[in-house]
Amino acid sequence: MVDTLNASLRIAGSGIRSQAARLKVISENIANANSTGATPGADPFARKTITFENEMSRADGHALTRVKSIGVDDSPFRIEHLPGHPAADENGNVKMPNVDILVESADMRDATRAYEANLQIVKQGRELVSMTLDLLKAG
């Protein structure tokens, strides 16, 4: 039982770390959703992406999740006509970040739910240990 509980906590912990990293990337994307280039025609903030991979735990042979890489989304930037903007080109067009707030919000909701699910596993594991100790004390 202890091995199973320990493995569950390690797996949930790896999920918590992965989802926390995902939430950090999403937050950065949202914070920079309107960050344009500093000079006319310069590229704005490019949306960041995160990729996960499974790795085998050497300690117990269970599959854990970890961040594989943080990359940059290569989708095209939006173009807006803002003639007075400092980053506007000679035609008055400004390159805007390729961040879609609706997509980021949906990703954030998904990451938050996954984080909470893993956190619930940890809480239930702690509760199970506490109940076991109480039974041992009573017996």
> Domain residues of the chain, as ranges?
2-132
Average pLDDT over residues 97-114: 98
Helix H or strand E encompassing 136: helix 101-138
**Residue 92: its pLDDT value, please?**
94
**Residue 67: its pLDDT value, please?**
96
Q: Which of 100, 96, 106 shows the shortest CA–CA distance to 22? A: 106
Write the CA distances from 59 to 10, 46, 53, 55, integer angstroms. 10, 39, 18, 12
Distance CA 12, CA 139 (A): 31
In the numeric block, which tokens belong to residue 111? Answer: 């990451």
For the stretch 28-74, pLDDT in tens is: 999 999 999 999 989 999 999 999 999 887 777 788 999 999 999 99
Q: Which of 7, 75, 6, 66 shows the shortest CA–CA distance to 44? A: 75
Longest dimension (CA), the chain: 82
Task: Examine the pLDDT at 6 and tell me if it is beyond 90.
Answer: no
Q: What is the percentage of the chain residues whose pLDDT exceeds 70?
A: 97
Contact 83, 30 (CB under 8 A): no
Sole residue written with tokens 């109940």: 131
pLDDT greater at residue 113 or residue 135: 113
pTM score of the predicted model: 0.86
Phi/psi at 84 (5° precision)? -90, 0
